Amino acid sequence: MSGNIRLWQYSTWNSSRRPVRARDRRGYGEAGRPNAAVTDQSGHPRVKGLIVAPSMSDLAPLDLALRFEQAARSTGQKLTVRQYAPLPLAAKDPFGLVQGIMLVPLLIGGYMSSTLLMAVTGQAAGRWRAAQLAAFAVVSGLVVDLIVCYWLEGFPSSKFWITWPICSLLVAVVAFVAAILQKLLGAVGTLVTVIVVPLLGNPSSGGASGVPYLPAFWRDIGPYLPPRNGYILLHHTIYFDGHGTSQALINLLIYLGVAAAVLIVLDLRGSEAKVPVDATEAAAMSVPIGATP
């Protein structure tokens, strides 16, 4: 096959599912969905087939099935299309939208925790600021996890415990970044956080449709911002047993480690002037305006 998608041969349909479970590049290609040919014992193609993973994207399975069927008809071949998900989507989330929606409260909770703490104390920094934000991240991550998993039933309950630290990690990253910007820029730091994280980061996460469907600008900036890394870590941990999450996890841990170190250094530099009350109130009212993935 031409282009970025190659045809791989497997002896059975079951064996062709392995790359789907592991998110192996051999099974997914550039478009993010697997394709496979089932062969007989002699290795000759018996059935040409396409396996799509509905838990990976809400658009790609239909899009790819249509395009592959058109290509098969144009060459006079028969194509069998099958769906396979290592972990089926939750009954109340048939299109896999929940993880994209979960990003919104996690991102807002992150920068709002730092902003409200600044409003209460009247300072953008102080001793134990990092510890306070980390404690809030642990609690808020648990709250979001409980609501989405058990109240809204947005993902299988078997993934509750592994999802909690991911939620808390994302909140902590955004909170630490916001605290640093607020220390350096004052109340304006909140606005900068809103622009960089929710407004630019949220749309560039790819959401339920997937990164290949993003315009070039959003596709290019996404890997460098927390939201896409957080989405990949959440979604692939829940539905693909954590396969394909190493880079996203490393990126978030780098964000967390560097931001925590910088914040602690800034907090230990000494006292600072009080932030004006009207400035902290204005910062606390900052609300992101951006598309939910």
Identify which of 169, 166, 164, 163 has the alpha carbon closest to the alpha carbon of residue 259. Answer: 169
Pick the closest to residue 266 from 197, 196, 189 (CA basis): 189
Q: Could you report the per-residue pLDDT of 107-128, keeping only the tens digit for each?
A: 999 999 988 888 877 776 667 8
Average pLDDT score over residue span 214-233: 93
The Cα–Cα gap between 32 and 54 comes to 11
Question: Has residue 25 got a pLDDT over 60?
Answer: no
Identify the CA nearest to 155 among candidates 292, 247, 198, 164: 164
Residue 138: predicted pLDDT:
96
Residue 27 — very low, low, confident or very high, per pLDDT cuts 50/70/90? very low
Q: For residue 149, what pLDDT is reported?
A: 93
Number of helices (H) and strands (E), helices first, in the chain?
12, 4
Q: What is the mean pLDDT of residues 254-260?
A: 95
Distance CA 58, CA 264 (A): 42
What pLDDT score does 32 carry?
38
Calculate mean pLDDT across residues 150-157: 92
